[in-house]
Chain A
Amino acid sequence: MTGDDDTPRMGFFTDTSVCIGCKACEVACKEWNAIPEDGLELTGMSYDNTQRLGSDSWRHVAFIEQRKPFGGPEPALTHEDVDVFAAASRLGTDPGSPDGHTELRWLMASDVCKHCTHAACLDVCPTGSLFRTEFGTVVVQEDVCNGCGYCVPACPYGVIDQRRDDGRAWKCTLCYDRLGVGMEPACAKSCPTESIQFGPLQELRERAAARVRQLHTAGVTDARLYGESPDDGVGGDGAFFLLLDEPEVYGLPPDPVVTTRDLPAMWRHAALAAASLAALAAAGFARRPR
């Protein structure tokens, strides 16, 4: 799915390798879109007190603390041959830790609606409230949504949710109002490290591929793109990511599939089941008329 003929499909490339976890994107999003407060909780999940995407969090910065060995020598049983002065002189410059201690790796990633090419939320919406914009993004029309809640369990990424007091479904609009007047979305605008990059999807894909190559050359072999491939189960994401670990570590599904891909088969099975029910009832009447 591309945008209109004259409007290219727009999206986000979120490069988590340069995210510093400042949450400027979360704040800018809340401010610009006038999203209500949704609880001030201290979770103990590293610096993450937002916890998840939902009706009142359209950007969510995930924080993952990992212990990873830094590839130093195996710990020796005795320490006679360790030159402590030489080791001390390397402090701060040598990543290797002679005693085999591990060091903390801190992953941060700003998550957002993926604006799927094949969007389950949009497919299942019975009112037509969810629609595809001229920028190829997926947006809820709040004056149409009747709060049926179908989009909530349909989204394979756990993005869209219903606001309890208001009853309607809400999610990232990729700042549809700002795009309309040629501005970039609030989160991308506020990101100080350009972890969130906004632009025509095609261009972002090229930029992302170059970035992965660069990181691999530098030895960061963990770097991988997530959601950029048009061949995945949702036809590719309009908002895709560069990750440094498996997707599920960040709370993302490793192989999401748009549920409506199986819908024709579902209707076929339901039709067969309906026929069976009718046959079953007929069988009930067919025997010994009374």
Chain B
Amino acid sequence: MSGRETPAGAQPGRRRRRRGRGEQPMVPDARFSSYYGRPVLNTPTWKPLDIAGYLYLGGLAGASSLLAAGADLTGRPALARTAKLGAAGAISLSLAALVHDLGRPARFLNMLRVLKPTSPMSMGSWLLAGYAPLTLAAAAGEVTGRYRLVGSAATAGAAVLGPAVATYTAVLVSDTAVPAWHEGYRQLPFVFAGSAATAAAGLALAAAPAGQAGPARRMAVLGTALELGAFHLMKHRMGLPAEAYERGRPRTLLRAAEALTASGAALALVCGRLRDRRPALAAGAALLSGSAALRFGVFHAGVASAEDPRYTVLPQRERLAARGS
């Protein structure tokens, strides 16, 4: 038996040889093999609306808390009100989305059963357990106008935790085997930070009077620069899985995100000088929807990269070749 197997096994031509070392992973290898083209990874079971929505709303809330605290400090009551209500509303919706996505929603409290630094979802649950009540207290203080001290303390606390709420979600998706998420772990938190800033700025532009929205306008422009810059860098550094961002539905979503965010920021630049409210409303809508489109684009790109075995196998082959084994 082994006599028959011998010549079959000993065929040198079948060994895949890598020419490209290290830096040209964009070139697909013709000799790539897979098991009937089946994915190596199991596809994320997360529902797009719930989880991409969760990423988006978390960002909107976190950055809004910063605006709220700043507005309180600098005497911009209308901006503070918008941002506080926005943060409380967004984080409540995002928690609802998270619970809705669970296979066993009734067991959502099991999230607080342990505190696990190796699990971003555990850390995030504890973070939200601290943050959400603060935003609610800040919003309640704003609406009732009572317990001012408690309200200000809650606003300040939410502003401290807000940036973490906006960026930890990048760790959440990067800490997986999904190539288009994991390989972007260095830049994705910055993309999400920028996207959070544009969303919160968009809400403030649309809902607060122009006279108080100056910080939001500047936040929109800076956030756009951070988001687009970090995203560009991420795709540039990622290697082969970056392709997943450039094809099909993710591509459409991300192109739309780019166009909406950039035009929203441009409008934000000029609308401070206009009497008309409509440009500010349009800027706000563009920024809010641009940020949402970005999260959905990133989500779907990850799923697409998990479903194609090339994105799993080829970078690993490159790695092995670079190690010389």
Q: Which residues of A contact B (CB under 8 A)?
A: 43, 45, 48, 51-54, 62, 64, 68-71, 95-96, 103, 105, 120, 123-129, 144-150, 152-163, 166-169, 215, 218-223, 244-246, 248-256, 259-260, 262-263, 265-267, 269-278, 280-285, 287-290
Contacts and interface: CB of A to CB of B under 8 A. Distances in A.
Given A254-B316, A274-B166, A95 B45 contact: no
20 contacts: A43-B36, A52-B38, A95-B7, A125-B116, A126-B122, A127-B113, A147-B102, A147-B107, A153-B306, A161-B45, A248-B313, A259-B177, A266-B170, A270-B189, A274-B167, A277-B166, A278-B163, A280-B226, A290-B212, A290-B214
Nearest to B32: A248
Given A259-B182, A277-B166, 7 more contacts: A48-B36, A124-B176, A128-B113, A152-B42, A158-B42, A262-B174, A262-B182
Interface stretch (B131-139, B144-152, B217-225): B217-225
Contacts of A70: 4, 7-8
Contacts of A126: 110-111, 114, 116, 119, 121-122, 125
Contact of B9 (A125, A144, A221, A265): A221
A119 B101 CA distance: 24
Contacts of A150: 119, 121, 176
B172 to A, nearest CB: 8
A154 B175 contact: yes
A229 B168 CA distance: 33
Nearest to B192: A273
Interface in B35-56: 35-36, 38-46
B197 interface: yes
B252 interface: no
Given A95-B3, A273-B190, A128 B114 contact: yes
Nearest to B126: A126
A168 B6 contact: no
B9 A278 contact: no
A288 B44 contact: no
Contacts of B186: 265, 269
A251 B37 CA distance: 9
Nearest to A253: B40
B120 interface: yes
Contacts of A269: 170, 185-187, 189-190
Contacts of A160: 42
A67 to B, nearest CB: 10
Contacts of B214: 284, 287-288, 290
Q: Which of A68, A69, A282 has the most CB of B within 10 A?
A: A68
Nearest to B178: A153
Contacts of A252: 40
A186 B14 CA distance: 36
Interface string B244-276: 000000000000000000000000000000000
Interface residues on B, range: 35 or more
Contact of B316 (A43, A144, A168, A255): A255
B122 A153 contact: no
Interface of B: 2-11, 14, 16, 32-36, 38-46, 62-63, 66-67, 70, 73-74, 76, 101-105, 107-108, 110-111, 113-114, 116, 118-122, 125, 159, 163-164, 166-168, 170-171, 174-178, 181-182, 185-187, 189-190, 192-194, 196-197, 211-212, 214-219, 222-223, 226, 302, 306, 309, 312-313, 316-317, 319-320
Nearest to A127: B110
Q: Which of B125, B189, B223, B313 has the most CB of A within 10 A?
A: B189
A290 B209 CA distance: 13
Contacts of B67: 281, 284
Given A256-B316, A269-B185, A220 B103 contact: no
A203 B75 CA distance: 72
Contacts of A95: 3-4, 6-8
B171 to A, nearest CB: 5
Nearest to B47: A149
Contact of B175 (A45, A62, A266): A266
Contacts of B163: 273-275, 277-278
Given A95-B7, A146-B104, A265 B222 contact: no
Nearest to A245: B14
Contacts of A62: 35
Nearest to A276: B193
Contacts of A273: 163, 167, 170, 189-190, 192-193
A266 B171 contact: yes
B218 A283 contact: yes
Contact of A148 (B11, B103, B118, B168): B103
A248 B197 contact: no
Contact of A105 (B8, B34, B119, B175): B8
Contacts of A262: 174-175, 182, 185
A68 B187 CA distance: 45
A64 to B, nearest CB: 7
B168 A270 contact: yes
B41 A156 contact: yes
